[in-house]
Each structure stands twice: as C-alpha cells, then as structure tokens.
Amino acid sequence: MVTLTIDGKVITAQPNTTILEAALGAGISIPHLCYHPKLFPIGSCRLCVVEIEGVNEPMASCNTPVKEGIRVTTTTPLLERLRKQALQYILLNHPLECPICDKAGECQLQDLCHAFGITEQLFAIETPSFHTDYSSPLIEKHDARCVMCGRCVSVCTEVQGVHALDFVHNGYQSRIAPVSRNSLDCEFCGQCVAVCPVGAFIDKLFKYKARVWQLTKVSSVCPYCGSGCGIELNVKDNRIVRVTSDEKTTANRGNLCIRGRFGYGFVHNQNRLQSPFLMQHGKLVPASLHAVLDFAADAFKTIISAYGPDSIAGLGSPHASNEDNYVFQKFFRVVLGTNNVDSIARFNLLRGIVSMNHSIGFPASTNSYQEIERSQSIFIIGSDFSAEMPVASLPIIRAARDNDARLIIAYPLHTKFDAFATTRLHYRPQSELMLLAGLIKAILECGLENSPFIQQYTENFDRMKETFSGVALDAVASHTGIPVALIEKAAREIAQPATGAVICGDSLLRELDGEQAVRAVCNILLLTGHIGREGCGCFFSTARNNLQGLCDMGVTADLLPGYRSLSDNNELTNLWHRNIPVTPGVNATELIAAIEQGKIKGLYLMGCDPLMSFPDAKRTRAALSKLEFLLVQDLFHTEAAQMAHAVIPVASFAEKEGSVTSGERRIQWMQKACEPLPGVLPDWRIVQELSQRFAEPMDYRSTWDIFQEIETAVPQYRGAHQAVKLRHGVQWPVAEDGTGTGRYHLSTRRARFFAEAWQPARASGDESLPFMMLSGPSLYHCGTLSTYAEGPLSVRPVPWLEIHPQDASRLGIHENDIVMVRSPQGEIVCRATFNNLLPEKVVFVPDHFREASPATLTAVSSTCRVQIQKKT
C-alpha cells in the first residue's frame, strides 16, 4: 500500500491507483467530468487538477498515480480559477438548451456550472456548424452538446470491444463520430448514452417522456438472459419510461445490452393478455378468473380420477421468479401427487449442470463472471457467448486484450470474440463432441495434463485415459474439419496456462449429445486442474434470466428442490407435511412422446411455449391437440395459448416482486415497479388459487413467505434472506452469516473423470438438403419476449436468415429478399441477410420470431439440414 496526504488527511491506497481514485475512495471530492470509474482515464477535461507539493504545475489527478509520501491539495484559489476557466472553455459552444435536453437534472456539466457559479459564457466565438444524427434506431447523437470527454469512445472500445465510435478531425473541428462514417450501426447497447455526462447521446425511447426528477427508480433484474444484470426501472405514472443501471452497486457494474436497456416495452405492450379465457364451442372467449380456475381444477380432477395423477404434466418458466417456480413444482408434487414437472432447461442448462454435479458435486457454473477477466486461458465451445449473454461475456474482452489471455473459440460460426482469439476452431456443425474428444486426446498425448492435481483431487483417471486411447486425431480432424496441428495448438493453449476457464454455450448444450459433451468438458477441467481456484472453472450459457433458479427450485422431473434425489425426501416431507412421490416424472424431452402414447392427458404450461422452444413444432402441435385439457398462463397469446382450453394472464416481472438467480448463482430481488392490470396476478398466486380448489391447498401470504420456505427447502439458499435484497444479491451456496460464494472450492470429495464409451456425433438428417441450419439466440433479441418490445424491434423488426453472399448468389438471392426455408419437418419464411463470415453451406436462423420459428424445421436439436429458395 502507498501512504499519501490529501488535504491534510493521511490516506493509504493501492500502488496502481490514481490520486483521484484515492481521494474519492477516502471520501474527498475532486470535480471531474471525463473520468469514469469503468474506463481508462484520458485527462481531457482538466477539471480534476490538483497541486502536489514540490511539483511546479497543477496535475490532472485522474491520470496521475499515487506515490509514497506525496502531499496533495485539491482546493486552492489557483485550482478554482483553472477549473472555472476549463468550464468556460467547455461552454464555448455548448448550447444552453437545458429546457429541452433529456439530460437536464442529471447532467454533470449543469451540476458543475451550478457548483462553480458560472452564470454566463465569457468567450464569444463564431457559431460552428454541428450535426445532430437522428438516423439511427434507439440512439440520437447531438454533436453541439458534446464536451469531447471521450467516455463514449472509451466505453465502446474498452468495455464493449466494439469500437463503433471514435474521434474524427482535429482541433476545433474535432467530433465524435461513428467509425463507419454513416449513421450509428452497432450493438445498440446504449453504453454511450449511459456514460455521456451531458446530453450528447440520447435514448430515443425516453426522449420527451419525462424529466428525470419526475421518475421513480425501482431496483429490479433484467428479464432477459442469465447474466442477471441489475437494473433500475425508471417509472412515471405507472409506466416504465427507461431502464438504467447503477455502476457502483450492481454486479454488472452498470453494463447493459440492448435487451436490458431498451427491451422493457413488452411490459406495456397492448397485446398483453388482459383477461382470462375459456374455450367454448371451439373458441377462446373471455371469462372471469374464478370461472377459469374452477374449470381448470375440475378438468384436472376429472383426469386424475380417470387416469391417475401421473396423467398430468407441467412445464415451469425460466422467465418466472424462483417463488413462482417453487410453488409450481410443489403444486405438482404435493397437490396433484406427481413428479411430472419439468422445463425447457432439460434441453440446455440441465445437461450441463447434471454432468458437472456428477463430476465435482456442484450443479452450476463454478465461478463469478468477473473472474473470467483473470483467466489466463479461456476456451469457449458451442457458443456465440457475446450474443447469448452479452454482459456476462464482457470480461473476456479485458482478459484477451488487456491481460493477454489465450482465447480459444470453438464454434462453426464467426463471433465477435474471433477478433480477440488466439485460436479459432470453426468445426463442422454437430461435431463438438468429436472435437472435445480430440482435445482430451491431444492433452494426454502431448503430456499436458496436470499430474499433481489429478493425483490429489480426482479419481477414475486411468480408466478415462484408457477410454480415450482409442481416439485418433486424424479421424477427429477429418470429422471436424480442424487440422491436427490446430487441435494440438488449442490443447496447449487450454492446458499450459496456470489458470483457465471453459464456457459451454447454448449450441453445445442444445445438441442431443450435449450432456456427454459437458462430461468431456469436465474431463478437460480435471486434466488441466483448472477448477476450484480464482480464474478457473466452468460457465454454462443461461440464455434465459432464471434458468438456473428454475433448476434450483426443483422444476425437474427427477430431482427435488436443491438437486436432491427423489428418494432423499425426508426433510421436504417434514417441511411440506405430505408424502412426495418417488417415481421420476415425465421430463420435457419425454413429454411429447408421452402425450402421443396417451400417458399424459392434461398439461399445465406456466410461462412456457413448447411450440417455440421444443424441436419439431409440427409434432408438438399434433401432440398438444390430443390433450384432454391444456391450461396456459402467460403474458401473451402464445402459440400454445391459442390451442389451450383455458388461458390466464399473468403479471410481468415489473408488476411483482420476487427473486431470480443468474447463471453465476446470484440470487437477486426484483422489486415491484408498476401495478398490473386489475385482476392480473403473479404466477405463484394463480397456482395457489388453483391449489385451493383441491384437498391440499397452499396458503402463502406473500412472496417473502415463499422465499423463506425456499431457504429451508433448497440447502444452497439457506441464509440468503440476509443479503438477497442488497443490490448485488448473494451467490449460493450461502454461508451462515449470509455471505455468498463467488467460486466453487475444491472439497475433500474427489472429482470424478468420466470414462464412458465415447460416441461419435450422429448424422443430422437428410444429406440431400444442401444447407446446415444452426439456430439459437442472437444479440438483439432474447427468446420471444423481446419481439414484443419496441426497442429491439426497431433494430431487428422481422425474422431473418443469415447466409453467405456466394451461397445466396448461387440461389439467385439478393440481400433482403424474402426466402423460404424448408426441412422435412416444415417451412418458414424470412428475410435474407448476408454474412460473409459464414462457412459455405451453413446458415443461421435466430429463434425469436413466432412467425418464423426454427422449431418448425428442426427434428431433435437446434440444428438441422434445410433447403433454401427465394420466395416469388
């Protein structure tokens, strides 16, 4: 530590901090404008000048490092004069249009002028010509208001890794402009809006909606992906008018992506379900909640008395809260008496965490996202992680660019991170498992394994080694399309650094052999010893915000809350005062076949639409039409809702309180920001109302009541009540004193290598179909929810297909043409978008739009072969 004196106060600071940071940390205020705690200082505004004893000139404190023994003064007549002068220069061309500027009330320049008593513009100059760019969606750029602090350029480059903005021209003609020199065409994360100290970058959705002092800021959690970004819902007159995030108190450091910042519009979408519906004479007609619940209870009771409780199944929701999901699974187990309760996590996250649990006894991502920044090697497989989880992925940029980490990206498509990668493995679609086997073999063959770690902490190594001895790298190369030398290079970059992280993406998890692929990843982690330490570990993509919480709550047909086996039910039996069925239920991957076979007669969907999220929508539709009773509760009139016998509207995340758990196990509390429509209830209340029509009613008084029960039911959550309502929440498992766990620690239990028979990836359908289609998340949308929100829609309004221009040209397709995509399962229509980084004969379709869902085309996973044709 370094000791220095600021304004007579002796303080200590880390050696690499600046004087400004040391002062702010010690509660000493120094005026500043261009400095931002998230960014490298550029010292352009000169407001933070201080005097240092023995130094002739005042120094900018934001980029002067602390030094042992220095004596700093922050306020002298000279410094006051210099600061006032600096402000006068900034005001030279700054229009005083505060009455119509959205930043008024939170403008740092306004505050500084007020603090320094600047009442007039001293210097007159010829008014220069400035441009205001209204052309881009979501963000407006007012050059005249710009103070050239460079924060927008820095955040776009340093934090986002995008570099869409830069300084152009020199001297007095200097401006901030899009690098493309056209209108802003970027990720539309809005980080430039967030860090701009004045009103140069403006959120177009917020413009003229409110003055900032009219807003109430309510803490919540982004409803989209599992990055779990803390947000503030800015509310006026019961409506959300913008979303912000606090960089000081949130785990995401105030970073948001387009979905979190601009995607709130679905809450007030006029197509929200506003009334319950009942099917009458083949049509859904409005009905009272009371009537719908009575009808649903009678329907379930009739089915149970005819076929037994195991004839009813339910799917929970990765967008509902922990409390909603906990009550939902309890309804099935305690009220209906079946374990037939599951979710779409069965198609992705569960494949990962089940394997991880078998290997190291930890059912989740092992470390915190921020730790990735300190990994010396990062291996991403089966993922465009920057699109799946934009904010969780940001530390990768710092690690690769600033800390020189090895970055190995394995994915068939080009991703944003390819620009930072040290090795790119663009394998053939569906050959992930083969590639992982090749990497394991290469690690063993090159003697890269961490023998001391293996000896001390693992078991089953010899058997695993024996299993992989049959893998031939030549065969791996010909199957995956990755040369042996590149596989070996990747193996070295993964294994040799002292610390390393592996990120398993959505595409890896969604393949049929996803679970086996994660077992191979576990083998790599144990071979390299990259587990249980800072900067090491495994991360799973959680492309929906409460996917982890949903699994934690036991919305799993074969596991009770807290990942207990069905036979380990003593504690829960005592807690619930009921016997719990011990036979595993029908899980999501078995559900459609079970309906087809007549085993499932009634289905309850809570915030889940299998027609969008299960493969083979045609088969799913046919199965749903066979049900004797289908109950749907959701925000919108989904595809499944249109087939339902009863539909119930629910409150959105902003209209209720509750907890959600991010992909890094962070349990956070969402506060209620708006009143829902009259009669619209949170999911758990609807489930509870339904339970009260059965012999085993539930009777919770509040969300907090349920959370307290969860703390008993889910061992990992015990003690979480002490910190869950803090802004950054708490990561499970929680210690007795309420402290969370950022990182999995090695325990006395030996981690287990998987030595199973290794299966090559299976063929994927009809080879006569010329294109391989990959589908999944994209940056601008998340699930279907964002397609009800004005912000993301303004950037990506219609379904699209990404295709290489040469492939398109062979088919006579021009950019923006409407194309028909066909597979044996069905066909969809979307707009062609050119992507010249795609491999030949590979196309990508995002999975957001109901009218062009890839689920219509796929058979068993998110990948399939298709035919493409220009639509005439």
Residue closer to ligand SF4 (CB basis): 195 or 442: 195
Contacts of 456 (CB under 8 A, 6+ apart): none
**Should residue 227 be labelled a site residue for ligand SF4 when binding is judged by CB under 6 A?**
yes
Applying the rule CB under 6 A, the residues between 764 and 793 that interact with ligand SF4 are 782
**Should residue 257 be labelled a site residue for ligand SF4 when binding is judged by CB under 6 A?**
yes
Applying the rule CB under 6 A, the residues between 178 and 197 that interact with ligand SF4 are none
Q: Can you tell me which of 389, 623, 635, 644 binds ligand SF4, judged by CB under 6 A? A: 389
Applying the rule CB under 6 A, the residues between 89 and 118 that interact with ligand SF4 are none
Residue 693 burial by CB count (10 A; 0-12/13-18/19+): exposed, middle or buried?
middle
Burial call 285-308: b when 16+ CB within 10 Å, e when fewer: eebebeebbbbbbebbeebbeebe
End-to-end CA, the chain: 71
Q: Can you tell me which of 23, 205, 225, 551 binds ligand SF4, judged by CB under 6 A? A: 225
Cβ–Cβ < 8 Å for 531, 366: yes
Query: Whole-number minimum distance, CB 741 to ligand SF4, in Å?
Result: 21
Q: From 387-395, 408-416, 491-499, 507-515, give the range in contact with ligand SF4 by CB under 6 A.
A: 387-395
**Should residue 391 be labelled a site residue for ligand SF4 when binding is judged by CB under 6 A?**
yes
Lookup: tokens for 501: 């992280």
Lookup: tokens for 786: 């964002």
Lookup: tokens for 524: 């790599």
Query: Whole-number minimum distance, CB 388 to ligand SF4, in Å?
Result: 9
Residue closer to ligand SF4 (CB basis): 229 or 795: 229
Query: Whole-number minimum distance, CB 673 to ligand SF4, in Å?
Result: 16
Q: In 10 A of CB 621, how many CB atoms?
A: 17
Q: From 252-260, 339-347, 413-421, 596-604, give the range in contact with ligand SF4 by CB under 6 A.
A: 252-260
Residue closer to ligand SF4 (CB basis): 391 or 443: 391
Binding track, positions 416-445, relative to ligand SF4; x by CB under 6 A: ------------------------------
H or E element in which residue 178 lies:
strand 175-178
Q: How many residues bind ligand SF4 (CB under 6 A)?
A: 14
Query: Whole-number minimum distance, CB 319 to ligand SF4, in Å?
Result: 12
3-state helix, strand, coil in the chain (%, to 5): 35, 20, 45
Closest among 243, 239, 242, 265 to 255, alpha carbons compared: 243
Burial call 820-842: b when 16+ CB within 10 Å, e when fewer: bbbbebbebebbbbbbeebbeeb
Residue closer to ligand SF4 (CB basis): 525 or 782: 782
Contacts of 831 (CB under 8 A, 6+ apart): 798, 799, 800, 801, 816, 817, 818, 819
Q: From 70-78, 389-397, 439-447, 803-811, give the range in contact with ligand SF4 by CB under 6 A.
A: 389-397
Cβ–Cβ < 8 Å for 413, 381: no
Residue closer to ligand SF4 (CB basis): 591 or 730: 730
Instruction: Give residue number: closest CB to ligand SF4.
Output: 260
Closest among 231, 360, 453 to 743, alpha carbons compared: 360
- The three-class DSSP label of residue 423 is strand
Residue closer to ligand SF4 (CB basis): 58 or 663: 663
Q: What is the distance of C-alpha 401 from the center of its chain?
A: 22
**Should residue 229 be labelled a site residue for ligand SF4 when binding is judged by CB under 6 A?**
yes
Query: Whole-number minimum distance, CB 366 to ligand SF4, in Å?
Result: 20
Query: Whole-number minimum distance, CB 389 to ligand SF4, in Å?
Result: 6
What is the distance between the alpha carbons of residues 53 and 75, in angstroms, rounded to a whole number? 13
**Should residue 349 be labelled a site residue for ligand SF4 when binding is judged by CB under 6 A?**
no
**Helix ranges (DSSP H) in 273-381:** 289-307, 322-330, 349-360
What is the distance between the alpha carbons of residues 253 and 245, in angstroms, rounded to a whole number? 8
What is the distance between the alpha carbons of residues 828 and 567, in angstroms, rounded to a whole number? 45
Query: Whole-number minimum distance, CB 778 to ligand SF4, in Å?
Result: 12
Residue closer to ligand SF4 (CB basis): 222 or 673: 222
Residue closer to ligand SF4 (CB basis): 350 or 389: 389
Q: From 254-262, 399-407, 615-623, 861-869, give the range in contact with ligand SF4 by CB under 6 A.
A: 254-262
**Should residue 647 be labelled a site residue for ligand SF4 when binding is judged by CB under 6 A?**
no
Query: Whole-number minimum distance, CB 205 to ligand SF4, in Å?
Result: 15
Chain residues binding ligand SF4 by CB under 6 A are 222, 224-225, 227-229, 256-257, 259-260, 389-391, 782
